[in-house]
């Protein structure tokens, strides 16, 4: 595929801000802008691979060392949820990573734009600027009074996952357990239900990835917006607690929602193994199943770049054209590929954040 034929990709999830934050350097934005060939995303490789933007997650991590290589336990491990994170610790991490995002924008000389609407995303892509959507994964920093939500929205927050895979004031995430259903704990708390309503009012997308089954049902009953899982796969093909069952996919389709294909090998493979030798056909089997469950308008990418091991055939963001080529070889037409690569996400965001 020639560079002129590269299909732009707007992606549903990356953890690049966490990687930059964890580097503990004075100017983390330079690691992204100058490029280091470490991790999965930086500006030079984004341009090489046609990465046009996506959801840049602010994820307050567990306390202690961060191991990016093993996000799921071995098959059969009855994993427990990580401990809850104190609001003060979550606040410090959330503010620090949000600061990196805005410093990136300022230092990029127009190469990256923090976008607050679908129109902003289209404009950035037209200019060749990476379109970054401010997303929070795990709302511990906000607290049950929701006071900080308005401040974050004013700063540019447009997407929020109430929980990561742990318990907080709003609900409970699924453990990284294989094999397992996502029915692993209680639903949303009263504060969690209030958070969903507040996000609807502010037009902040509510992300269902990491939420357990009862919490998912609660969001489906409360929310007036399309149901969205930004980075999840098909439970029937990989029975991880992190993946979506048939009824969840049906609920998403009924609302005109979307699912972003997660590139994490442990959520792709039928054996749950985190193997870099995972074939692209394994990924495309999930795409086929998502298309069947959701229709052509309900599927996108949600790579989890910089947050999980991915197939060696892609390796990093510069390898996105190899995935596009595999889709072409499987018989996907150009129009469908463009829908999955970027058009569906932009259309969904237009219907949610405006």
Q: Quote the percentage of the chain above a pLDDT of 90.
A: 92
Tens digit of each residue's pLDDT (9 = 90 or more) over 153-193: 999 999 999 999 999 999 999 999 999 999 999 999 999 99
Tens digit of each residue's pLDDT (9 = 90 or more) over 26-63: 999 999 999 998 999 999 999 999 999 999 999 999 98
- Which tokens sit at 277? 């030798």
Vertex 6 angle, CA 4 and 7, to 5°: 130
Closest to 267 measured CA to CA, from 131, 259, 170 = 259
Bridge-based pairing state of the strands 112-115 and 130-137: parallel
What's the confidence (pLDDT) of residue 4?
Answer: 43
Tens digit of each residue's pLDDT (9 = 90 or more) over 277-303: 999 999 999 999 999 999 999 999 999
- Which tokens sit at 93? 């991490």
Closest to 103 measured CA to CA, from 27, 40, 42 = 27
What's the confidence (pLDDT) of residue 256?
Answer: 99
Instruction: Give me the domain span that covers residue 242.
Output: 3-352
Closest to 240 measured CA to CA, from 276, 265, 202, 266 = 266
* Phi, then psi, of 160 in degrees rounded to 5: -150, 130
* DSSP character at residue 37: S
What's the confidence (pLDDT) of residue 1?
Answer: 42
What's the confidence (pLDDT) of residue 37?
Answer: 87
Q: Number of structural domains, the chain?
A: 1
Within 237-319, residue ranges assigned H as helices are 246-254, 280-294
Confidence (pTM): 0.96
User: Can you give the CATH number for the domain in which 108 is found?
Assistant: 3.20.20.140
- Which tokens sit at 251? 């609920």
Closest to 341 measured CA to CA, from 150, 125, 145, 138 = 125
What's the confidence (pLDDT) of residue 194?
Answer: 99
CB neighbours (10 Å) of residue 202? 16
Report d(CA 84, CA 31) in Å as an integer.
Answer: 30
Report d(CA 202, CA 158) in Å as an integer.
Answer: 9
Paired residues of 58 in beta bridges:
136
**Which long-range contacts link 250-254 to residues 24+ away (Cβ below 8 Å)?**
250/293, 251/216, 251/220, 251/227, 252/208, 252/226, 252/227, 252/228, 252/294, 252/298, 253/293, 253/294, 253/295, 253/298
What's the confidence (pLDDT) of residue 67?
Answer: 54
Report d(CA 343, CA 121) in Å as an integer.
Answer: 11
């Amino acid at each position: 595929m020639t560079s002129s034929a590269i299909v732009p990709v707007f992606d549903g999830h990356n953890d690049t801000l966490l990687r930059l934050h964890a580097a503990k350097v004075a100017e983390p934005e330079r690691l992204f802008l100058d490029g280091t060939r470490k991790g999965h995303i930086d500006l030079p490789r984004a341009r090489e691979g046609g990465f046009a933007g996506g959801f840049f997650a602010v994820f307050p991590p567990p306390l202690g060392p961060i191991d990016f290589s093993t996000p799921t336990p071995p098959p059969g491990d009855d994993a427990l949820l990580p401990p809850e994170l104190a609001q003060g610790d979550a606040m410090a991490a959330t503010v620090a990573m949000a600061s990196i995002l805005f410093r990136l924008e300022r230092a990029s000389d127009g190469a990256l734009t923090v976008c607050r609407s679908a129109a902003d995303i289209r404009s950035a892509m037209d200019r060749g600027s990476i379109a970054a959507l401010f997303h929070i994964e795990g709302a511990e920093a906000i607290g049950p009074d929701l006071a900080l939500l308005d401040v974050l929205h004013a700063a540019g927050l447009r997407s929020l996952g109430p929980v990561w895979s742990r318990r907080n004031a709003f609900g409970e995430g699924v453990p990284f357990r294989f094999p397992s259903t996502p029915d692993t704990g209680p639903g949303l708390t009263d504060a969690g239900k209030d958070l969903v309503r507040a996000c609807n009012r502010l037009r902040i997308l509510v992300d269902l990835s990491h939420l357990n089954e009862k919490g998912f049902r609660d969001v489906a009953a409360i929310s007036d917006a399309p149901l969205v899982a930004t980075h999840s796969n098909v439970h029937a093909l990989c029975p991880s607690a992190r993946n979506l069952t048939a009824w969840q996919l049906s609920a998403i389709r009924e609302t005109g929602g979307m699912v972003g294909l997660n590139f994490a090998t442990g959520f792709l493979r039928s054996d749950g193994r985190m193997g870099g030798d995972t074939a692209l056909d394994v990924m495309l089997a999930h795409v086929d199943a998502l298309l069947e469950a959701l229709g052509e308008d309900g599927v996108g990418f949600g790579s989890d770049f910089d947050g999980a091991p991915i197939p060696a055939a892609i390796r990093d963001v510069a390898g996105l054209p190899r995935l596009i080529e595999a889709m072409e070889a499987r018989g996907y037409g150009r129009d469908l590929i463009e829908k999955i690569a970027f058009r569906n996400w932009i259309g969904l965001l237009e219907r949610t954040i405006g």
